[in-house]
Amino acid sequence: MDFLPIFLNLKNYRCLVVGGGEVATRKAQLLLEAGAQVKIVAPDLSPELEKLHQEKALQYRLGNFEASDLSDCFLVIAATDDAQVNAEVAGLAKQQGALLNVVDQPELGNYILPSIISRDPLQIAISSGGASPALSRMLRIKLETLIPSGYGQLAQLLRKFRPQVKAFFSTGEQRRHFWEKILGSPIAELVLSGQTQAAEQALEQQLHNAEDKLETKSGEVYLVGGGPGDPDLLTFRALRLMQQADVVVHDRLVSKAVLNLTRTDAKRVYVGKERSNHAVPQENINKLLARLAKEGNRVLRLKGGDPFIFGRGGEEIETLAAEGVPFQVVPGITAASGTAAYAGIPLTHRDYAQSCVFVTGHLKDGTMNLNWDLLTQPQQTVVVYMGLLALPILCQELMKHGLPAKKPIALVQQATTKNQRVFTGTLGTLPDIIRDAEVKPPSLLVIGDVVTLQDKLSWFKP
């Protein structure tokens, strides 16, 4: 992060705004709304600032900026149209250790002001780090239309009941589960529809319900497919469960962008597998999921691609079913379909392939034990998962069992992400093509005449 998002309590703090124009007016009004003691220094004032000065809402000193204006100031905003004055304010404010914002020159300051959506006391701040204030404003406008004003009343209601909830439930985890239950109940809708009194009565009833008070949460496992890497390819259900989980058990193939969409306070457990290095044996993973759920946790088992396509999801839920642990499965876009779509290689095509086969390319003792007769059928596409290391042997065996050396083949690295690379060739040439290319996992192989369409259909240019 270039900037750490924080919310400041400015009530009764002295804040200085240098400048009296339109921009300075907006900044000063924002500070006043936050309860700050605002002082303006400028040769002249906008009509709005003049009115605030006449109403004694702020202090004003007529004239140019001087070092003495910074005395006892906690926060400073330089909002003039003179770059030299802004730079002078910045240099002196930094020496004093004040929080400093320089309008249109974020590199001179140490904080920036975001676009704000206010549903008091609920606030949402959006920032582009100074890269594009227009983009931040556009997103703010979009969110304004999606977030009803009633969320402010909802936040006030929840704040009112916080002391009582804290007294009812002894742990933070119990309180969090209670609030999640309330927010997912009709109580929230009552507030949003203007029925605040009815919502308050319903919340009071929930809080004093002995069954709710003593309720112990039951654990569950969410087996979720995280897709091939691009977080935009997640399902709505996957994202919802990712935000609910207390513990996240994840694989190596889950992209960082997807993993970052889980709750920040959830415990993360890495159980990834690399070639010849299994962090946790599969049987232990199965037992771990069951144990965590039996302890009362909502466990997210997050896998790259789809959990039921070479993801060992079936083995994991077999153990959960045998031990009586509740679970649900959320499919994900498997690596084959995601890779093919982003690489511009249709897996089936009326003119080239009427069937598609998925296989794994794991080596065992330097050999591959696959159904070669099945893989060498005409008019079909073969997708090989985890076949990078075995590529030379795979190509040799396919040619040995009848495929021509000129059969097209593609290798796609880290598909759907900014690091995607596509290498195309033939069974006879691809091993040499990628020998010095430093291909990084995860990668996928696509074999068949559909690969010839890649040049024409490739659309994703990371």
Q: Which of 330, 331, 233, 249 is nearest to 290 (CA)?
A: 249
Q: Which helix (H) or strand (E) holds 117?
A: strand 115-119
Which of the 8 DSSP states describes residue 252?
Answer: T
11 has catalytic annotation? no
Residue 33 tokens read as 């709304």
Q: What is the largest CA-CA distance in the chain?
A: 92
CA dist., res. 382 & res. 373, Å (int): 12
CA dist., res. 128 & res. 144, Å (int): 17
**3-state DSSP helix/strand/coil percent for the chain, to nearest 5?**
40, 20, 40
CA dist., res. 117 & res. 41, Å (int): 28
69, 230, 251, 306: the catalytic one is: 251
To the nearest 10 degrees (0 to 180), the angle between helices 172-183 and 150-168 is 140
94, 181, 217, 273: the catalytic one is: 273
For the purposes of burial, counting CB atoms within 10 Å of the CB of 438, is it exposed (0-12), middle (13-18) or buried (19 or more)? exposed
294 has catalytic annotation? no
Contacts of 142 (CB under 8 A, 6+ apart): none
Classified as helix, coil or strand, 404 is coil
Which of the 8 DSSP states describes residue 228?
Answer: S
Alpha-carbon Rg of the chain, whole angstroms? 30
CA dist., res. 353 & res. 341, Å (int): 16
Residue 320 tokens read as 């959960």
CA dist., res. 82 & res. 292, Å (int): 61
CA separation (Å) from 380 to 100, 284, 309?
64, 38, 19
Which residue numbers are catalytic? 251, 273
